[in-house]
Structure 1
Amino acid sequence: MNDTSGILDEALQRLHASGPERLGRLTNHGPMAVEALVHGGQARSVHRWLDYYRAKLEDMPARLAPVTDADWRAALGDPRRAADWIAYFERALAERPWREVLTAWWPVLLPGIAGGSTHPVIRVGHAVRALLGPGGETAPRVAELAHGLGYWAA
């Protein structure tokens, strides 16, 4: 994967305004697809594909209430709390290295691996591959991990 142009980061930033699902049940495949396109050497196709796909997505749902270290268990597995969970992981990733956050949370989230037809864990996998790949730990890629973990937690 050669992302010297920042195409992946630009695409992720465009996608982060959209929610993890649409129509209450269909997964937003955009972040996974753009990472796979860039990883597969098709970076030049990313923005054209995203221009088409973006029209199918819904905006990020509204936040209901902050998820905190004290009350996260009550929000776990609640799809209405996706934006709350994403915000929680954005804060966690701003405070600690992404590997520490992932190491602490994947065992907690593992029982919900089948939720969202396994798309949340797949999204986390794509985010990790992007973080480990060329270009490394950029803000949009760390934010993508927050979106993936938040979707999985919800």
Structure 2
Amino acid sequence: EKLLQQAFGQAREQNFTAAISYLQEISPDTQIGAKIQAKLTEYRQKQKIRASFLLQQAYDQAEMGEFLAAIHFLEQIPLDTKIGQIAKQKIAEYTEKEQIKRKVEQEQQLTRTQQPQSAKIHPGNQLQEINLKPNSSAPVIF
């Protein structure tokens, strides 16, 4: 009965992998074991739904270039599911993309810090009219 309570507790927290694990520890030959088969089926279905949700969250984060957040979602997907195998591949892909992103950002930062001081001064790109002679009617453009 303790395993059953632990399984229900994990299911309430949407940790269906742990809930399934607890239920599988209960012998199917017992009275409770015979009754939990429906719960096992239910939790497996909910596990798939949750994995699909987490995968979509990861895709959404990756689309915005937030690869670390995407990896965080993927790491919550159980690897022993079909979606888990996709997650495993995406973790490798997003890890590589995050490293490339970080390298590009470091190179950009390095380029910015290596520019000479004069390159950072922008005097403007618009011409100004100045009247050199107070009585002159035609302005000179510089």
The answer to whether TM tops 0.5 is no
TM normalised by structure 2 equals 0.26
